[in-house]
Chain A
């Protein structure tokens, strides 16, 4: 309660209140996250359960787009896809999967990146050179390339069935590993700046050990750039997942993410069923846009040089 009060009185919250863009983007992201978390409660159907799908219901348009001679189908307000799945439920579940992959992939990146960045920056010398060259090599291969190779090899060796079961885990792992250098470089740069400050000397004089100094004293001082890149990285991870799913390497059609929904509806776009692709695409674009806008705002607020007063 005390903490909450302190937060509400803080400069950060004041900045947030006085920026409409921040409020709008935060509200939309918050709504999406809530919807995703509560998907099983909100959605009328379970799109992962084949027994609830009836092929007779396939390609029903959204309620506002019905032909003049037909009654609108009130069961499916966003229409259905080619297999008769309710689009609204599929999007909620897809959003859930996309967000899970985005957040966990970033968590993996963070853990690897922060550990390597801290050690490189603090220890320096050969250790630093080794990890940073590793990061350079990693960055010279694009995320998509690493992901495609990794996932394709996994599918080829263990078969598509096992892959379908482990798709979420594999995507998190692959996207997480492919993007750690972003964090490692950011952390290392901040550590280099912080390492020579007197409070680090003071901590050594107090008699603290190096791991404690790194984690307790230096890491908290590098958090604000991390927070900013985290927002961008979540958006990137969701995009990567969507792209991989679109290419058929991501989530299987039976457990669609936003990307695989877009992909599966793509063939039908010219036969008149535009909603199967367009609506999930719109949700994806809105989500990414809002995350990026919130990230921009965070960067401005956390950077005292751009302080707007």
Chain B
């Protein structure tokens, strides 16, 4: 049985004027210890999928359709108490900005002990021992002293390590990391990423990595989902998708990566920006920005079809493949 299986997840925001569909039919599954990347630009629905999985959508957002089967249990149907016993215990989450996710007025130790005590009947002293253990594991020097530190006394990288340590405290089986390295500088990013990879491997923890950094995804994950305007546009094994992207959007993202072997050339850019939820174009949502757009694309939403071992949502996938081989 899959660790977590998301089936046809739809999220909508009923507003005064219209019901905005922010997430339309996302499907994926993760086995124990497997790592999945979710890629896409801001507003594509990456973080929303994560929040929906943990039942943490802010009002008026709600899950309109679909199932989130975590170890066979549908998370979308649990009540608050049942959900609380899973959040932070079986599934942890790591946020983007470590400056903001730690409470500024509580010591690191207090926050860690509190997390443990929320889920286990455990004494303060025992909880502290576990906390020190985890801090050592994320390679924080003199862990015991750090327990007495306040968040503002630590650097950004240290803080993100603490956040990771907190996420690992209760030995979860799945960690959702929402752009965990975006707020850090580049050298620290690499350190934190490799640390997370190591920890996931040693603890055999599943990881959902939400990011817009394709390089990170290719190094860390085994599966990848590319999202655009609330829909999955390409999905499959990371290697297959990165090496042979079929959707024009994925290709655009790949082409926009800075390459060392073409210095002096202007970087590729996908023209325009993502449509807003209340102004979706007819047909394929990507058609106004797509260079291969045809009549079909303007009228009909393409299906998520299988091409060479991974799923692509594009009318022109086949054509593009031939073109790509010619050039």
Instruction: Digitize B98-120: 1 where CB-to-A-CB distance is under 8 Å, 0 elsewhere.
Output: 00111111100000001100110
Residues A221 and B56 in contact, CB atoms below 8 Å apart: no
Beta-carbon contacts under 8 Å, B270-310 to A: none
Number of B positions contacting A (CB below 8 A): 26
Across the interface, which residues of B come within 8 angstroms of A133, CB to CB? none
- Cα–Cα distance between A135 and B100 once the two chains are bound (Å): 32
Evaluate whether A217 and B103 lie within 8 angstroms (CB atoms) in the complex, with A198-B97, A207-B87 already known. Answer: yes
CB A279 to nearest CB in B, in angstroms, measures: 44
CB B151 to nearest CB in A, in angstroms, measures: 9
Residues A207 and B118 in contact, CB atoms below 8 Å apart: yes
Residues A198 and B100 in contact, CB atoms below 8 Å apart: yes
Beta-carbon contacts under 8 Å, A186-206 to B: 197-199, 201-206
Residues A216 and B88 in contact, CB atoms below 8 Å apart: no
Interface assignment of B311: CB less than 8 Å from any CB of chain A: no
Across the interface, which residues of A come within 8 angstroms of B97, CB to CB? 198
Q: Which of A199, A203, A209 has the most C-beta atoms of chain B within 10 angstroms of its own C-beta?
A: A199
Residues B87 and A199 in contact, CB atoms below 8 Å apart: no
Residues A205 and B104 in contact, CB atoms below 8 Å apart: no
CB A296 to nearest CB in B, in angstroms, measures: 23
Instruction: Digitize B58-87: 1 where CB-to-A-CB distance is under 8 Å, 0 elsewhere.
Output: 000000000000000000000000001111
> Which B residue sits closest to A197, measured CB to CB?
B100
Across the interface, which residues of A come within 8 angstroms of B114, CB to CB? 206, 208, 212, 216
Residues B102 and A202 in contact, CB atoms below 8 Å apart: yes
Identify which of B88, B92, B103 contacts A221 (C-beta below 8 A). Answer: B103
Instruction: Digitize A112-147: 1 where CB-to-B-CB distance is under 8 Å, 0 elsewhere.
Output: 000000000000000000000000000000000000
- Cα–Cα distance between A209 and B118 once the two chains are bound (Å): 9
> Which A residue sits closest to B163, measured CB to CB?
A202
- Cα–Cα distance between A217 and B104 once the two chains are bound (Å): 9
Evaluate whether A221 and B104 lie within 8 angstroms (CB atoms) in the complex, with A198-B97, A205-B54 already known. Answer: yes
- Cα–Cα distance between A197 and B104 once the two chains are bound (Å): 11
Interface assignment of A272: CB less than 8 Å from any CB of chain B: no
Interface assignment of A309: CB less than 8 Å from any CB of chain B: no
Identify which of A198, A204, A221 contacts B87 (C-beta below 8 A). Answer: A204
Residues B100 and A205 in contact, CB atoms below 8 Å apart: no
Across the interface, which residues of B come within 8 angstroms of A209, CB to CB? 84, 118
Beta-carbon contacts under 8 Å, A201-253 to B: 201-209, 212, 216-217, 220-221, 223
Residues A205 and B92 in contact, CB atoms below 8 Å apart: yes
Residues A201 and B118 in contact, CB atoms below 8 Å apart: no
CB A203 to nearest CB in B, in angstroms, measures: 7
- Cα–Cα distance between A205 and B96 once the two chains are bound (Å): 13
Across the interface, which residues of A come within 8 angstroms of B253, CB to CB? none
Across the interface, which residues of A come within 8 angstroms of B89, CB to CB? 207
Interface assignment of B138: CB less than 8 Å from any CB of chain A: no
Evaluate whether A220 and B87 lie within 8 angstroms (CB atoms) in the complex, with A197-B100, A208-B118 already known. Answer: no
Interface assignment of B13: CB less than 8 Å from any CB of chain A: no
Across the interface, which residues of B come within 8 angstroms of A207, CB to CB? 84-89, 115, 118-119
Across the interface, which residues of B come within 8 angstroms of A205, CB to CB? 54, 56, 87-88, 92-93, 95
- Cα–Cα distance between A202 and B103 once the two chains are bound (Å): 9
Evaluate whether A206 and B87 lie within 8 angstroms (CB atoms) in the complex, with A198-B97, A201-B95, A212-B118 already known. Answer: yes
Number of A positions contacting B (CB below 8 A): 18
Beta-carbon contacts under 8 Å, A24-63 to B: none
> Which A residue sits closest to B96, measured CB to CB?
A198
Interface assignment of B166: CB less than 8 Å from any CB of chain A: yes
Evaluate whether A206 and B100 lie within 8 angstroms (CB atoms) in the complex, with A201-B95, A220-B105 already known. Answer: no
CB B163 to nearest CB in A, in angstroms, measures: 8
- Cα–Cα distance between A17 and B56 once the two chains are bound (Å): 47
CB A2 to nearest CB in B, in angstroms, measures: 10
Residues B103 and A203 in contact, CB atoms below 8 Å apart: yes
CB A93 to nearest CB in B, in angstroms, measures: 40
CB A6 to nearest CB in B, in angstroms, measures: 10
- Cα–Cα distance between A43 and B101 once the two chains are bound (Å): 55
- Cα–Cα distance between A204 and B87 once the two chains are bound (Å): 8
Across the interface, which residues of B come within 8 angstroms of A197, CB to CB? 100
- Cα–Cα distance between A204 and B83 once the two chains are bound (Å): 10
- Cα–Cα distance between A216 and B95 once the two chains are bound (Å): 20
- Cα–Cα distance between A217 and B54 once the two chains are bound (Å): 21
Residues A201 and B56 in contact, CB atoms below 8 Å apart: yes
CB B116 to nearest CB in A, in angstroms, measures: 10
- Cα–Cα distance between A206 and B112 once the two chains are bound (Å): 10
Across the interface, which residues of A come within 8 angstroms of B54, CB to CB? 205
Beta-carbon contacts under 8 Å, A146-187 to B: none
- Cα–Cα distance between A212 and B95 once the two chains are bound (Å): 21
- Cα–Cα distance between A209 and B87 once the two chains are bound (Å): 11
- Cα–Cα distance between A197 and B95 once the two chains are bound (Å): 12
Residues B118 and A206 in contact, CB atoms below 8 Å apart: yes
- Given A199-B104, A207-B119, A217-B106, 11 more contacts at CB 8 Å? A198-B96, A199-B102, A201-B101, A202-B101, A202-B102, A205-B54, A205-B93, A206-B115, A220-B103, A221-B103, A221-B105
Q: 21 interchain pairs (CB within 8 A)? A: A198-B95, A198-B96, A198-B100, A198-B101, A202-B95, A204-B87, A205-B88, A206-B114, A206-B166, A207-B85, A207-B89, A207-B115, A207-B118, A208-B114, A208-B115, A208-B118, A209-B84, A220-B103, A220-B105, A220-B106, A221-B103
